[in-house]
Structures are given as structure tokens and as C-alpha cells.
Amino acid sequence: MDLFTAGTLVVDQPWSAGNLLLRTRYHVDVYDTRDGHLASVDERSAPRLTRPVRLTQLSGSTPFRLSVRRPDGATLLTVDKGFSLLHPRVRVTGADGRVLGSVERANRKHYPITDHTGAPLGAFDFPSGRFTAADGTEAGVLERRAVAHRAGERVGRDVLHVRPGVAGPLRALVLATVLALDVVRGNGTARNSAITWN
């Protein structure tokens, strides 16, 4: 079982006081339901000039470049977001560097998902957590964020259930939306966005 075949993914991010108050770099770890570590999502480094901004409510407007890597270090996906103020768009590329598509925040609740040509693949509804394909069928459901524990440490936990048969670019973009959720939603590393789904 891997990131692209698991039906349920558990996404944990550090939840200590220091991480919530002072985080300037994005990081989550991804597990299956048996606690197998499937991937990590990291920034190699946040641009130095953006670090003070990452501590404010303008964090979500700063650029992010996230790498989704297997435990052996192989890159599975890359998630890029440029500077944005109102409607952040993230672009997702595969391991081969091919652009798979993008996710854009249309408003606080609606996030259209498109392929590399701009054609609709589906959408994400927040805060219901429901992903739909372009034909209206359900592609997955994201459970509301909760505080949990892993290896004795507090984590913020999102759990994604992907429907059977969802594959290809749509699955990759659903995964990218959840793995980079605070970036996709335009919150970045801001403290209040980490604590609650606002």
C-alpha cells in the first residue's frame, strides 16, 4: 500500500505550542490506517524575506513550494503556490515533472480542481470536506481536523477517505489539496489557521 493506493490517509502536523506560535515552514507526515509512514510534505526552506510574514495573518499570501516525498526520499508530487492575496492557486506536478493540474480557492467554501489544460476535474467543498468529480460523483471525504497524539507528541490530524476507483490526476489533486490544506486555503502557517478550520 502506498500514497496512491491507500483508501484512507492520516495526515499529521506538529501541534506543540512552539510549532503553533512560531512555525514559518510547512510540514506534515502521512500514514496509512496501520500507522505505516507513507510520505512527508516539506519545504526545503522558506524564502528568508518571507519568514517574518509567515508569523502573521499574511502568511497565506507568501509563495510556497512543497515536496511530497516517500520515506526513501523519492519525490512523488510537488505543490507550488506563488504570491497571492485573494484567490490562491496551487499547481501540482508529478514525479516526472509533468503538470497534473491545479486547485484554486474561489471563495471560503469552494475550491475548483482543474487538469493541466484548465478543464474541470472536480471540486472541494469546505468545511463539509467533500470532494466531487466533474460528473458530480463523490471522490472523497476529509474528516474535520482534530487534535491527536503520535509517538507521545500532540499532532493536528486530518483524515482523508478516497473513494474506490478515483485515480490519475484527480486522485493526485485530491491528495495534494489535503496534504497542503492550509496553503490551498490561503492560510499558510498562520497560527489561528492551524488551530481551527476557520
Residue 168 banded pLDDT, cuts 50, 70, 90: very high
How many Å apart are CA 69 and CA 78, to the nearest integer? Answer: 9
The H-assigned helical ranges of the chain are 17-22, 51-54, 168-179, 181-184, 191-195
With beta carbons less than 8 A apart as the criterion, state whether 170 and 122 touch.
Answer: yes
Question: How much is the pTM?
Answer: 0.89
With beta carbons less than 8 A apart as the criterion, state whether 81 and 88 touch.
Answer: yes
Query: Domain residues of the chain, as ranges?
Result: 8-195
Q: Lowest-pLDDT range, 18-27, 89-98, 101-110, 130-139?
A: 18-27
> pLDDT tens for residues 28-48?
999 999 999 999 999 876 566
Domain 8-195 has CATH 2.40.160: yes
Count of other CB atoms within 10 angstroms of residue 198: 10
Instruction: Indicate if the alpha-carbon torsion angle 70, 72, 75, 76 is positive or negative.
Output: negative
